[in-house]
Amino acid sequence: MSISPLPADPTLDEIRTALAPLIARNAGFDGWSDAAVHAAADEAGVDRDVAKLAFKDNAIDMIDAWIDSIDLELAHRLPAEKLAAMKIRDRITALLATRLEIMAPDRESLRRAMAIMAMPQNLVRSAKIGWRSADRMWRLAGDTASDFNHYTKRMTLSAVYASTLSVFVNDDSDNFADARAFLDRRIDNVMQFEKVKFQAKQRQDYVPSLSRFIGRLRYPAR
């Protein structure tokens, strides 16, 4: 992942953006902790106290900033004009697969981040972070829906992403082949669901069970 250079007199937001990938690089060894912040600050030439202030000694703030940096890197690697030439299924596949590539060097940090995000006190914040990433991916994919589809698309993509990450962090296959195969199957499910929604809209006499479908994405039958 590319590291954003700091301007001469950076704001706290700019410091967070610059340090987040460096913190993630160290979190695999030091956890999402002060030690990881200190190591990142030293590498970037930022005062340790200022770096701590930027993240408020809060692991979820560090993780939030890291995921935000992943979103930015994803947009850099797959700009909207590049995705526009692809079919919608290929756009979603490319977006999710590229996210995995970006996070691959920091899988242990991701594992630790997922455990922190799953803590009861962090569930609301984690849901907002996941929704933000799903929204950004759909916007990169060219989605402009403003009706109920706006929400269903983001909910289904969030579910696909979360379930794929649970496979990815434990995947020891070559080039994460197992996680990629799992992702392909989940995207097939999404495309089938979108087809059903389209057909239902045409008939206007069928309402799909969104909650049951999302449950299947998160906990697919083995």
- Give the pLDDT score at 146: 76
Lowest mean pLDDT among 79-83, 144-148, 158-162: 144-148
Q: What are phi and psi of 86, to 5 degrees?
A: -100, 160
Query: Tell me, what amino acid is at 184?
Result: D
The pLDDT-based confidence of 187 (bands split at 50, 70, 90) is confident
Candidate ranges 103-107, 185-189, 193-197; pick with highest mean pLDDT: 103-107
Determine the Cα–Cα distance for residues 24 and 107; give it in Å rounded to an integer.
9
Count Cβ atoms below 10 Å from residue 100 Cβ, excluding itself: 20
Contact 116, 122 (CB under 8 A): yes
Residue with tokens 């996680």: 179
pLDDT beyond 60 at 94: yes
Residue range(s) defining the domain that contains residue 162: 86-218
- Crossing angle of helices 88-103 and 177-203, rounded to 10°: 150
Q: Between 206 and 26, whose confidence is greater?
A: 26
pLDDT beyond 70 at 2: no
Q: Between 209 and 117, whose confidence is greater?
A: 117
Q: Between 150 and 206, whose confidence is greater?
A: 150
Answer whether residue 52 is part of any domain: no
- Give the pLDDT score at 209: 63
pLDDT beyond 80 at 44: yes
Answer whether residue 68 is part of any domain: no
Count Cβ atoms below 10 Å from residue 72 Cβ, excluding itself: 17
The pLDDT-based confidence of 149 (bands split at 50, 70, 90) is confident
Answer whether residue 30 is part of any domain: no
The pLDDT-based confidence of 221 (bands split at 50, 70, 90) is low
**Number of domain units in the chain:** 1
Answer whether residue 154 is part of any domain: yes
pLDDT beyond 70 at 206: no
Residue with tokens 């695999």: 28
The pLDDT-based confidence of 152 (bands split at 50, 70, 90) is confident
Contact 154, 138 (CB under 8 A): yes
Contact 160, 187 (CB under 8 A): yes
Determine the Cα–Cα distance for residues 123 and 128; give it in Å rounded to an integer.
9
Half-sphere exposure of 110 (CA within 13 A, CB side): 20
Lowest mean pLDDT among 27-41, 49-63, 181-195: 181-195
Answer whether residue 78 is part of any domain: no
pLDDT beyond 70 at 35: yes
Contact 120, 128 (CB under 8 A): no
Nearest one of 156, 142, 159, 141 to 194, comparing CA atoms: 156
Answer whether residue 64 is part of any domain: no
- Percentages helix, strand, coil for the chain (3-state, rounded to 5) are 75, 0, 25
pTM over 0.85? The answer is no
Determine the Cα–Cα distance for residues 64 and 94; give it in Å rounded to an integer.
22
Answer whether residue 214 is part of any domain: yes
Answer whether residue 51 is part of any domain: no
Contact 109, 24 (CB under 8 A): yes
Determine the Cα–Cα distance for residues 118 and 135; give it in Å rounded to an integer.
21
